[in-house]
Structure 1
């Protein structure tokens, strides 16, 4: 490869590093889900009334979370463990939660492999296809696919479980988050990582593309000479 093509391949190294940073931030931060909390009071006619002075907020990631509730005497902050436990199927599905983490880890792994082979292809020209430019397509595609599955798992988790009341230990006091849930920025970091790997694939394609030169058929050379008549 010439210098320009090697430079384009090396550019994907920075893309993979950026994607790794996004996924690592998504895993370590506590904003995969956010919700506003309100406290409802049942009136004598069985209707609900929201207490204006009782407000709160809750957010959590894949492992830890924090809830802040105000019952009229100031905000009280309570950190909590966000991992699903037995007997809490209404909070989160364990399979979807584990699938989200597994796919995110695999996405990071293939992004690391893609970054490593981007450096190798910049410095030298590997003989094997899987370690060369075709391999860069594979690593970035796998990273993007696992990130996509991670996003799908959490989206299913969100709509199946987290759109209900997640304040399990406070619902007896009228606290609820139902209807106030949104995806947090930690979730969107993984979405951005998908587009980064797609951009890497496009950079590899346009940076290393070599149009095939069609060989023109040469006309047979005519032999000059006299025609012998018999």
Structure 2
């Protein structure tokens, strides 16, 4: 049984949606703006200034003690990340699963839209549901850590020893919102798949009905 053009188009649309999900998740993992914060020294707040931004793996810090800016790029991982180990691992691992499920949805959508025979869109739906689930899970873990810790402090122990403070200055950056966009895109993919599943018309279900009517007309003659 062959899929009609509408079903094939809806499923093929999810291929582009899954590609967009992959791009958004990869961009969020590769950029350094999960958190953007400002900092000052409590000992001389009027003369000092700092800017810190970091992602899940790398970060950038600009600090001015009062006599010029100093720029530092730094690598971060579990154990040295401003976020605690459980938050870093929870966010990174869930995004890895979301990336894999988006890749699976992409491949399945391409195969289903190209196949001549009818194929079930349920595996595509399952992959996109997994993408939504794990992106939401990653956002929940990161938001929990943000409200419990990161909005109060993103400074290293060395910076804290030098009386630097970022209390109340940290904001969620672009990298985080890319995950929000990926989750919304995967949800839209699910809507497209459900619409395709709700449309019960298929090429081969219409043709036999027409053929039966023709045969009945011939027998009357």
- Sort the TM-score into its range (normalised by shorter chain): 0.7 to 0.9
Match of 1:201 among 154, 168, 190: 190
Counterpart in the other structure of 1:36: 38
Counting only pairs closer than 5 Å after superposition, residues 145-164 of structure 1 correspond to structure 2 as 145-164=133-152
Counting only pairs closer than 5 Å after superposition, residues 62-77 of structure 1 correspond to structure 2 as 62-77=56-71
Structure 1 residues 13-22 or 50-59, which shifts more? 50-59
Q: For residue 23 of structure 1, report the CA deviation from its aligned partner.
A: 0.1
Indicate yes or no: 2:105 matched with 1:114. Answer: yes
Structure 2's unaligned 5+ residue stretches are 202-221
Distance 1:208 1:3 in 2: 13
Indicate yes or no: 2:178 matched with 1:189. Answer: yes
Counting only pairs closer than 5 Å after superposition, residues 24-173 of structure 1 correspond to structure 2 as 24-41=26-43, 51-85=45-79, 91-124=82-115, 132-167=120-155, 168-173=157-162
Structure 1's unaligned 5+ residue stretches are 42-49, 213-230
Q: For residue 200 of structure 1, report the CA deviation from its aligned partner.
A: 0.6
Q: For residue 7 of structure 1, report the CA deviation from its aligned partner.
A: 1.1
Counting only pairs closer than 5 Å after superposition, residues 207-226 of structure 1 correspond to structure 2 as 207-210=196-199
Q: CA 1:208–1:125 in 2, change beyond 3 Å: closer, same or farther?
A: farther
Q: Which structure shows the higher strand fraction?
A: 1
Q: For residue 194 of structure 1, report the CA deviation from its aligned partner.
A: 0.4
TM-score, normalised to structure 2, is 0.83
Counterpart in the other structure of 2:214: none
TM-score, normalised to structure 1, is 0.80
Give the number of the structure whose alpha-carbon radius of gyration is greater: 1
- Is the CA contact (8 Å cut-off) linking 1:19 and 1:197 kept in structure 2? yes
- Is the CA contact (8 Å cut-off) linking 2:7 and 2:199 kept in structure 1? no
CA RMSD of aligned residues (A): 1.9
Distance 2:46 2:193 in 1: 56
Q: In the TM superposition, what whole-angstrom CA distance separates every residue of 1:55-94 from its partner, at most 9, and x where no partner exists?
A: 1100111111111011121111112222232xx69x4321
- Is the CA contact (8 Å cut-off) linking 1:59 and 1:67 kept in structure 2? yes
Q: In the TM superposition, what whole-angstrom CA distance separates every residue of 1:117-150 from its partner, at most 9, and x where no partner exists?
A: 10111111667xxx62111111100111011111
Q: Which structure shows the higher helix fraction?
A: 2
Q: For residue 211 of structure 1, report the CA deviation from its aligned partner.
A: 5.7
